[in-house]
Amino acid sequence: MTQRLTTTSPDFAAAFTTLVDARREADEDVSRDVTAILKAVRAGGDTALADYTQRFDRHDLNVSGWAVTPAECRAALDGISTTLRDALELAAARITTYHEKQRPVDSDGVDSAGVRLGARWSAVDAAGLYVPGGRAAYPSSLLMNVIPAKVAGVQRIAMVTPTPNGEINPLVLAAAQIAGIEEIWRVGGAQAVAALAYGTDRIAPVDVITGPGNAWVAEAKRQLYGVVGIDMVAGPSEILVVADAKNDPDWIAADLLSQSEHDPTSQSILFTDDAAFADAVEQAVQRRLPLLSTQAVATTSWAANGAIIVVRDFEEAMPLVNRLAAEHLELAVDDPDALFAKVRHAGSVFLGRMTPEAVGDYVAGPNHVLPTGRRARFSSGLSVLDFMKRTSFLSLDQSSIGAIGPAAVALAEAEGLPAHAASVSLRLP
């Protein structure tokens, strides 16, 4: 049953702490299985990939084909409706425009001591993109992952996607065609992540791996961090809606269910300062659930992980909002900017009554790959910077090394590193 909390209740503090600390990740201990898969792929390469694909996706890669051809992608794009094609192209254009503004600027200057110093940004050589093919097959996620890499200047993007029974979602291929992905492999799961990280005879290794996946994929990325860079270890989706009674309860119910329908472990939470409005939203949720093709998933998620919290006012709500550090935060109030000024931890914030989170999933522009599970306390959504690295540089002449070198010598000697000290002192005037 959906949890109902009120800040005036004597047990609120304990109940809210339980909500904050609740773990919604899958209960299965997949770590040992993933470790074995990674080891097998590193040792067996393509043979291990083919074995795992036969076992989990029920097709023979040597028959169905290892790679998706450019012709298949073109045919998929030609085969979708004009409406869908226009929607994908609009999304791609808006995502590109937004992320182009994230490109960092190199720096190069001379300081007061005469030292030239700065930084140069460059893209990684290769990025790997994981695209789910099971419960979730989202062309929007493909665009959100590949476009920042393209904007960063990554030269090679390798996409992997599971193809159960050898079949692949044509919308995913259409999005790949629009995004300009030329390397697509019909492999998925932890084994595909291992192939991207270690490389096989067919699949060359990459430097960064991004993209959503199930618990096995997330665990594989976690274990391989350091071998490659990763975007994040993502958990179940979540939304937090702060709404007053001036909203249409049916709109807010739809917003909450937009995340509940993702997965049985997704979480949707409403904060409101009006108990009657809370009742109206709860009733609207119950009316809408039977209308959804995703009813079974959404019902389970809402019952197990949904919550409605009634606060005295939104001033009281904002510290609680920050404790939850939600992936998505809607501020559906008269003055959303006033509340936004108090937000310290959130993956992405949606301001005002006419800004549903779902528009951000598709065509708004900002990236929808966001930190979950309270990780917004210390991390950000996917960006161009995830595909770039910064190289610092400096240049000294006789004058500038004379100005700062003696201090370096003193510190090196204090740390007991005489060769460090000598490499500087020998150059001093």
In order along its 429 residues, the chain shows pLDDT tens digits of 789 999 999 999 999 999 999 876 655 688 999 999 999 999 999 999 999 999 999 999 999 999 999 999 999 999 999 999 999 999 999 999 999 999 999 999 999 999 999 999 999 999 999 998 855 578 999 999 999 999 999 999 999 999 999 989 999 999 999 999 999 999 999 999 999 999 999 999 999 999 988 889 999 999 999 999 999 988 889 999 999 999 999 999 999 999 999 999 999 999 999 999 999 999 999 999 999 999 999 999 999 999 999 999 999 999 999 999 999 999 999 999 999 999 999 999 999 999 999 999 999 999 999 999 999 999 999 999 999 999 999 999 999 999 999 999 999 999 999 999 999 999 998
Please say whether the beta carbons of 147 and 95 come within 8 A.
yes
Phi and psi, residue 8, nearest 5°: -80, -10
**Tokens at 260, concatenated:** 């509940």
Please say whether the beta carbons of 228 and 207 come within 8 A.
yes
* H-only helix segments in 27-103: 31-44, 46-56, 61-64, 70-79, 82-100
**Terminus-to-terminus CA distance in the chain, angstroms?**
77
Bridge partners of residue 330, in order along the sequence: 241, 350
Q: Which domains does the chain have, with CATH numbers?
A: 31-104+124-230 (3.40.50.1980), 235-377 (3.40.50.1980), 396-425 (no CATH)
Cα(18)–Cα(20) distance, rounded to whole angstroms? Answer: 5
pTM above 0.85, yes or no: yes
| Catalytic position from the list 59, 99, 262, 328 | 328
Please say whether the beta carbons of 272 and 284 come within 8 A.
no
Active site residue 327: yes
Cα(142)–Cα(157) distance, rounded to whole angstroms? Answer: 12
Cα(287)–Cα(154) distance, rounded to whole angstroms? Answer: 47
DSSP string, 248-283: -HHHHHHHHHHHHTT-TT-EEEEEES-HHHHHHHHH
Q: For residue 99, give every residue at least 6 positions away whose Cβ sits within 8 Å of its Cβ, in sequence order, or none.
A: 147, 148, 151, 365, 367, 383, 384
**Tokens at 241, concatenated:** 């809606």
Total Cβ atoms within 10 A of residue 42: 16
**Type of residue found at 335:** D
Bridge partners of residue 209, in order along the sequence: 128, 230
Cα(427)–Cα(171) distance, rounded to whole angstroms? Answer: 63
| Catalytic position from the list 219, 261, 327, 357 | 327
Please say whether the beta carbons of 50 and 40 come within 8 A.
no
Active site residue 328: yes
